[in-house]
């Protein structure tokens, strides 16, 4: 899961992933046309996203098309929800203890 969070730490990679997740598979050239970075930069971002298994690449000759793979992102979301739930429970106990001390 660390690779997922590292990949998502960069705003350009988040934008690339968002674009790839919108449906059909995209090439690096197509993605670069909509971003303020070069095709080479997009290729590097895609390689990192692919390493985190957030995108998958389908090659046909010299053309590489990328599409989103949601499973690693779902795992990260589930982990964050679990951790968030633990913190919510702690905060409820803290609020109850504070209220009990305030009424004493």
pTM of the shown model: 0.78
- Above 80 in pLDDT, residue 104? no
Residue-range domain boundaries for the chain: 2-103
Angle formed at CA 37 by CA 35 and CA 43, multiple of 5 degrees: 95
Kindly indicate whether the domain formed by 2-103 is annotated with CATH number 1.10.10.10: yes
Query: In degrees rounded to 5, what are phi and psi of residue 14?
Result: -60, -40
The predicted structure's pLDDT at residue 76: 82
Q: Number of helices and strands (H, E) in the chain?
A: 5, 2
Give pLDDT tens digits for 62-87.
999 999 998 988 888 888 888 888 88
Give pLDDT tens digits for 18-63.
999 998 889 999 999 999 999 999 999 999 999 999 999 999 999 9
């Amino acid at each position: 899961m660390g690779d997922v969070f590292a990949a998502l730490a960069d705003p350009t990679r988040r934008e690339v992933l968002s674009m790839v997740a919108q449906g059909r598979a995209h090439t690096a050239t197509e993605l670069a046309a909509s971003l303020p970075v070069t095709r080479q930069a997009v290729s590097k971002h895609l390689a990192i996203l692919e390493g985190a298994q957030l995108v998958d690449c389908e090659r046909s000759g010299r053309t590489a098309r990328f599409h989103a793979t949601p499973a690693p992102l779902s795992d990260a979301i589930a982990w964050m929800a679990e951790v968030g739930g633990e913190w919510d429970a702690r905060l409820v106990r803290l609020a109850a203890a504070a209220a009990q001390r305030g009424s004493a």
